[in-house]
Amino acid sequence: MNNQQGIITYINGPVIRANNMENFRIREMVMVGENKLIGEVISLEGNIGTIQVYEETSGLKSGEKILSTGKPLSLKLGPGMLGNIFDGIQRPLDKINSLSEGFIPEGIGLISIDTAKAWPVKLLVQVGDEIRSGQIFGEVQETSLVLHRLLVPIGVSGRVTAVKEDGIYSMEEILVTVENGKEQHSLKMYQEWSVREPRPSKERKPIERPLVTGQRILDIFFPIAKGGTAAIPGGFGTGKTMTQHQLAKWSDADIIVYIGCGERGNEMTEVLEDFPKLIDPKSNKPIMERTILIANTSNMPVAAREASIYTGITMAEYFRDMGYHVAIMADSTSRWAEALREISGRLEEMPAEEGYPAYLPSRLAEFYERAGYVTTFNDQEASVTVIGAVSPAGGDFSEPVTENTKRFVNAFLGLDRKLAYARHYPAINWLTSYSGYLKALDRWYRENVGEDILELRAKMMKILHEENKLLEIVQLVGEDVLPDDQRLVLEISKVLKIGFLQQNAFHKEDTFVPLEKQYKMLKLIDLLYDRCFRGIRLGIPISQLRQEQLFQDIIKMKYTIPNDNLEAFEVLEERIVSCYNELEAKYTMR
């Protein structure tokens, strides 16, 4: 830490300039003014520095001092993060509320996880052991769902010279002492890490496994990969938050990091009220036991919003290094980009498209490239999956944030206002969405779901695209003029859309659907289509082929067939076969 002090000369909202800054460093965390507001140096020119402040700057005056901390904006990573709700720079909201009810006061400092709290620790190393960076040296049962593995900080290695007995210790107590030549390192329960620096791993692995979500349109039509990236763009009211809630609740990730980035206060309040009540379906325990919430509403300091997604992804990488599969939900990156735009405007930078800074694409790329499937330093497989919601104004997907996000994500799940208003959820438009992971996940799907699953998906997608073309003709001249094979496409599309793609988050059998049931449902719809198509070739009219009760039963199979008892699919299959065998027999006898 240098003892030099900067002197404030200019204040413009969260952006301030100061003289006497030649001994400070870029990205250094500083204390600003008499209230010691938290800030970060973002540019230096000679002795003039520019700082963005993560707290309200009202009351700050020219001539006040800037103090160095000697380190970048960092997080304390250790037990106590799970089940907690933080602001954009890892300050716990419960603690802030106890200091100043209802408001975030200025100058409370960089409080983070509670270092005074004692945890039961089991040490896994002994005196004389050689340890290396990223190795697990101890364990803490943080919640009943998650075992917190204490990691040797990156850059630390050597021989263990002292180890505490297993027992209950506070976060600040030294648990292990390590010697490397003349250097001595003290290992505590927590470590610090700069939010803007990606945490290293032993090896990045190719993506081979899907993030199983139990949502049919995602798992089969547009899969997200473990360690992959996805964007969920959609206008107001199309169900972005609802879709992310379903992913947080049902996806097969071990840890969930949910970032409410610049959302309206009432929306964020709903999340903060709902999440603690949610029960994890796999363990029957509160989902908060494996969740971290970061809340940064639209009326909180704009610079802290810019930092919030880096805070979230750094926490996610830390749990990944323990060997966990982590899913991070950023809601929404549009509000984060607006924070970039505001700060850029106050810095008087040359604006690019729609006023966003020219470096918007590179900042988005920096965020999404921190996803990945890796081998940790402990030789475990782990991943960080990034799912970002995008809120384009008016649902216009051609605006800069959506367009640039498209460049860096491999799954694009476009939400559609018409579907949402028709109460079709998830409102993911099958015509505009895509997943670039199908080829990478091909082998996994064939081995774990069905040999023909991807061909089946392609066939159903073709039917949906054909239906879209036919609907334009129907609007002009009506359905009656279409030949029977095209009318069949419209009928099967209806079954596919209502019976398969539409999913009820409030129905116990439909909120989460195992892959085996999804596959059997699609096979049944395919069988229905094939038998009807064969009937048309034999000259049976569509009015006879469209058996009202049978079609309805197939649409309702998502509700009527329990997830843990799939024998009923065989009964339905026999009904389809016998029904159309009888029809064919009648028509061939004529």
Annotated binding site for ATP: 234-241
The amino acid at 159: R
Q: What are phi and psi of 369, to 5 degrees?
A: -75, -10
Q: What would the DSSP string read from start to end of 133-175? A: TT-EEEEEE-SSS-EEEEEPPTT--EEEEEEPPSEEEETTS--
The amino acid at 550: L
| Chain centroid, CA 218 distance in Å | 14
Omega of the bond prior to 298 within 30 degrees of 0, cis? Answer: no
Given its phi and psi angles, is residue 71 left (phi above 0), alpha (psi -120 to 50 degrees) or beta? beta
* Residue linked to tokens 């494996």: 290
- Report d(CA 6, CA 97) in Å as an integer: 31
- For the annotated binding site, the residues are 234-241
Task: Using DSSP bridges, classify how beta strands 411-412 and 229-233 pair: parallel, antiparallel or unpaired.
Answer: parallel
- Report d(CA 500, CA 274) in Å as an integer: 27
3-state class percentages of the chain: helix first, strand second, coil last, to nearest 5 = 40, 25, 35
- Report d(CA 364, CA 306) in Å as an integer: 12
* Residue linked to tokens 């204390």: 31
Half-sphere exposure (CA, 13 Å, Cβ side) for 275? Answer: 28
Return the ∠ at Cα 194 (arms to 192 and 197), rounded to 5°: 135
Task: Return the SS3 of 342.
Answer: helix
CB 53 within 8 A of CB 76: no
Q: Which long-range contacts (CB under 8 A, 24 or more apart) does 475-484 make?
A: 484/536, 484/541, 484/542
Is the Cα dihedral 51, 57, 62, 63 positive or negative?
Answer: negative
In angstroms, the Cα distances linking 18 to 24, 43, 49, 241, 307 are 11, 11, 5, 41, 21
**CB neighbour burial string for 551-580, b if at least 16 within 10 angstroms, e if fewer:** bebbbebbeebebeeeeebeebeeebeebb
CB 364 within 8 A of CB 404: yes
Task: Return the SS3 of 285.
Answer: strand
Structure tokens at 317: 């990488």
Give the total residue count for the chain. 590
CB 500 within 8 A of CB 492: no
Please report which helix (H) or strand (E) contains residue 5, including its range.
strand 5-12
In angstroms, the Cα distances linking 461 to 43, 430, 434 are 50, 8, 11
